[in-house]
Amino acid sequence: MLQKLPIEQLDKIANDIREDIIKMLEHAGSGHSAGPLGLADIFAALYFDILKYDPKKPDWNERDLFLLSNGHCVPVQYAAMARAGYFDRKELMTLRQLGSRLQGHPERTKLPGLETTSGPLGSGLSQACGMALALRMDKQQHRWVYVVMGDGEQDEGNVWEAAMLAGKYKLNNIIAITDRNNIQIDGPTETVMPLGDLKAKWQAFGWHVLEINGNDVEAVIDACAMGRAIQEQPVMIIAHTIPGKGVDFMENDFHWHGSPPNHEQAVKALHELRTLGGKIRSEHE
């Protein structure tokens, strides 16, 4: 986005994105709730401050590249893209329906503006590496490659293959954001397969690591600005988020990883989010 928005407006956008996520998931009757809600602040920051793009020219050759590696969180990306002007918000209600461009997991060939197809975990970062290598060959390093990935996803070996390669080639135009929400389908990440000290792990692979509150839009914007200033290394931002953020009964409960709200739950969630939206407005007024 060319025109920078004030933080309170970005907070409001994040809240609007959350409302859209609830409506989409309820309507679709399947899909993931917790991750997308937790990522709403990061996506508000990405699509309304950080990323360079033109929604009317999705293949603009000066755009930044954004990859969602944990494709199951795509409702948050669709909601952000609709608000950013890629397509009409009404289309959000076609999520997961036959013939929709909004597939259950993102498909590049279906929806302009998506840079890749993802869902099977662990392959986003390595595609980002390929993009960054190509940009380097073409002397296009003013363009940035952003990746959002899950924490549970880091059980995948492919992630660490990519981590090693990016470290080796010092792919400094990659900024990756790990959604550190500590849950995956079978339970807490540290129970399912302990990730341990993620910061030390990424550092050991040659990355510059930042740790932030991923539910703080301003912190996300600042970390990405810091990341772009790091010249010698790829950058990993470990963004601590609350899964289900904004909906009290979903927050921090891994059972909401892969489930949508039913009608009653959606009504309750939307009520909470609208109350929260009111609070955001009054705090900033």
Partner 1 sequence: MSDMHLVDLNGKLEAEPIRKGFGRGLLAAGKLDVQVVAACADLTDSTQMNLFKAEFPDRFIEIGVAEQNLVTVGAGMAAMGKIPFVSSYAAFSPGRNWEQIRTTICLNNRPVKVVGSHAGVSVGPDGATHQMLEDIALMRVLPNMVVIAPCDSVEAEKATLAMAKDKRPNYLRLAREATPVITTADTPFEIGRAYVFEKGADISLIATGTMTYQALLAAELLFKDGIEAEVIHVPTIKPLDAETILKSVRKTGAVVTAEEGQIIGGLGGAIAELLAEEYPAPMKRVGMYDRFGESGSPDELLTHFGLDAKHIRLAAHAVLDKKR
Query: Taking the complex as a whole, how short is the minimal distance between the CB of residue 246 and partner 1, in angstroms?
Result: 31
Query: Taking the complex as a whole, how short is the minimal distance between the CB of residue 136 and partner 1, in angstroms?
Result: 9
| Residues near 225 by beta carbon (within 8 Å), at least 6 away in sequence | none
Is 135 or 273 the residue whose CB approaches partner 1 more closely? 135
Chain residues in the site for partner 1 (CB under 8 A): 65, 107-109, 115-120, 122-123, 126-135, 137-138, 157-158, 161-162, 164-165, 169
Is 127 or 154 the residue whose CB approaches partner 1 more closely? 127
> Which contiguous run of DSSP H or E holds residue 176?
strand 174-180
How many whole angstroms separate alpha carbon 83 and alpha carbon 174?
Answer: 25
Is 2 or 137 the residue whose CB approaches partner 1 more closely? 137
Which of the 8 DSSP states describes residue 204? H
Angle between helix axes 263-284 and 7-28 (nearest 10 degrees) is 170
Side by side, the strands of the sheet bearing 174-180 are 65-68, 145-150, 174-180, 235-240, 208-213
Write out the DSSP string of 23-47.
Answer: HHHHHHS-S--HHHHHTHHHHHHII
Report yes or no: 152 and 198 within 8 Å, Cβ to Cβ: no
Rg for the chain, CA atoms, rounded: 18
Query: Taking the complex as a whole, how short is the minimal distance between the CB of residue 96 and partner 1, in angstroms?
Result: 17
Is 61 or 282 the residue whose CB approaches partner 1 more closely? 61
Is 161 or 253 the residue whose CB approaches partner 1 more closely? 161
| Residues near 2 by beta carbon (within 8 Å), at least 6 away in sequence | none
Nearest to 160 by CA among 195, 210, 126: 126
Query: Taking the complex as a whole, how short is the minimal distance between the CB of residue 14 and partner 1, in angstroms?
Result: 28
Query: Taking the complex as a whole, how short is the minimal distance between the CB of residue 64 and partner 1, in angstroms?
Result: 13
Query: Taking the complex as a whole, how short is the minimal distance between the CB of residue 133 and partner 1, in angstroms?
Result: 6
Is 38 or 122 the residue whose CB approaches partner 1 more closely? 122
Query: Taking the complex as a whole, how short is the minimal distance between the CB of residue 207 and partner 1, in angstroms?
Result: 16
For 153, the token pair is 């996803």
Is 37 or 163 the residue whose CB approaches partner 1 more closely? 163
For 203, the token pair is 């550092």
